Amino acid sequence: MRQVRNSPAYATNQDPAVAAALRVPEAEIYAIDVSFSALKDKAEFAFLNQQPTTFVLTPDAVDRLRKAAGTIIRDSPEFKRLMRDVGAKVIASPSVSGAGASH
């Protein structure tokens, strides 16, 4: 739409309906696929794809689903483009293993 709006063909447009249709925000769209098929680990894909579509999952299944989501997003070319375009980077969260353990 941005290319159409900026086209010289519409520079002298006087039609209010066309003007309204061309009034779009300056937005860049990033379509990030987060499907299991994007996983490179086929064993993990098979495990996750066999999980029931319920709200009752084992803690291990929940952990693996969350890990897979992060992997899929970080590996996505569109996500990488988004991060590059906005000048951001993903910082790994600190490990929580051993949190609260006494020494």
25 vs 48, residue with greater confidence? 48
For 67-91, letters b (16+ CB in 10 Å) and e give ebeebbbeebeebeeeeeeeeeeee
Structure confidence by residue, pLDDT tens digits, 85-103: 999 998 877 665 544 444 4
Delimit the domains of the chain by residue range.
33-89
Sorted by sequence, the CB contacts under 8 Å of residue 69 that are 6+ apart come out as 34
Which of the two residues, 27 and 67, has the higher pLDDT score?
Answer: 67
Give the per-residue pLDDT at 103.
Answer: 44
Any idea which residue has 């929940």 for tokens?
A: 62
